[in-house]
Amino acid sequence: SHDSAEARRRLMDVFDLSEVQATHILDMPLRRLTSLEVEKLRAELADLHRTIAELAAILDSPDLLRRVVSTELADVTKRFATPRRTVLLESAGQPAAAVPLEVTDHPCLVLLSSTGLLARTTTAAAPPGDDRRVKHDVVVSAVPATARGTIGVVTDRGRMLRLGVLDLPALPPTAAAPNLAGGAPLSEFVDLARGERVLCLATLRPDSPGLCLGTAAGVVKRVVPDYPSREDFDLISLKPGDKVVGAVELRTGEEDLVFVTSDAQLLRFPASAVRPQGRAAGGMAGIRLAPGASVVACCAVDPQRDAIVVTAAGSSGALPGTDAGTVKVTPYDAYPSKGRGTAGVRCHRFLRDEDALLLAWAGAAPARAAAATGVPIELPDQEGRRDGSGAPLPQPVAAVAGPISAMHHNSAEVIR
């Protein structure tokens, strides 16, 4: 056949095929055997023979090969040449100023955010505070230090780990509250066991009023600040199944210690009621617990300052971080002081589907709250009744903290 149309017609006539069947056969490589395709193949073969002859001639003649290479290089230079982007100078210019290799051991503050970011300031003064909120702006622990000094990191297993300050990122001075988005993760500086969580930072000063610990079983301990030179060491002898839920380094020794339990009981008593003990001791009775209850928070509060209590209620059966629950903010003065080892007073009334406090904090006002991601959360207005119910929030509160100037050290929630 001379073309595809004639070939299709002959296939349909000779073999009694449909047009679709004949078209499929012609679409196969056999259609190239028509006279039209044969002519195209012959032309392609002639072109290939000419190209092969030209390339063979270039390979057989060194002079011709050099001319071809020179021509192609000139063409590439013409198409892709660009001016030099750098300027070469005969002189290296002005010599660089000498930089001192030793960092000045200036006073500073070490800050820990609710999302586990660490940083240090460049001055010992507490950063200013304002009402503007940004991500990672909740500082749950702050301690005074020096740039080349060492601080302690307290964990829920009753351990303290030494941490060098020099390697921490330095925050430049700002007119607003510090934002620790430029900090470094705590995990880059300390080695924690699987599931171990950091509660607070602490100084290693021997003249400190002491470090106070509160456990889930209601034990309180005031640690004598006689720390060994080891990189990590125990602060308390914990009973099996118990853990530290709150840790705070006292500033004056005149603070109140506040325990809050899962069944919404709050107990405040003076820190002076706790006798300092050595690191090997197991502490003493802090709060009397009801069957099935546990301590969810242990904080230190200066009774001379304007202070508040924040409680968040929800369902104990909900997955962690999924139940927004209800949150209540109450003046600290609404709760009377009781004796150490007593049961305390009611601090939150549960609504339907609520059976436990998921988070609690007590400290100087104003308080800031944040989600687990560090996103700011607005707390509700203060509730005058100490045993009132809370207000719903759009997402779960993961951490609460007061101003850095009043802190030195209080932590609202643990850091993973």
% pLDDT > 90, the chain: 63
Q: Are 186 and 117 in contact (CB under 8 A)?
A: yes
Query: CA-CA distances (angstroms) from residue 260 to 71, 312, 331, 361?
Result: 87, 11, 15, 8
Q: Is 161 helix (H, G, I), strand (E, B) or coil?
A: strand
81: number of Cβ within 10 Å = 7
Give 113's pLDDT tier (boundaries 50, 70, 90): very high
Nearest to 147 by CA among 175, 174, 120, 113: 120
Q: Report phi then psi at 256, rounded to 5.
A: -90, 145
DSSP state of 211: E
Identify the weakest region by mean pLDDT among 118-127, 256-265, 284-293, 394-403.
118-127
Beta bridge partner(s), residue 327: 312, 391
Q: Are 208 and 249 in contact (CB under 8 A)?
A: yes
* Average pLDDT across the chain, whole number: 87
Q: Say if residue 34's pLDDT is above 70.
A: no
CA dihedral 11, 12, 18, 21 (to 10 degrees): 0
Identify the weakest region by mean pLDDT among 104-108, 124-128, 398-402.
124-128
Convert the pLDDT of each residue in 268-285 to its tens digit. 999 999 999 999 999 999
Give 413's pLDDT tier (boundaries 50, 70, 90): very low
Q: Say if residue 39's pLDDT is above 80.
A: no
Q: Say if residue 217's pLDDT is above 50.
A: yes
More confident residue, 147 or 96: 147
Q: Are 122 and 173 in contact (CB under 8 A)?
A: yes
Summarize the confidence of residues 287-310 as an average pLDDT: 96
Convert the pLDDT of each residue in 70-97 to its tens digit. 989 888 887 877 665 564 444 455 555 5
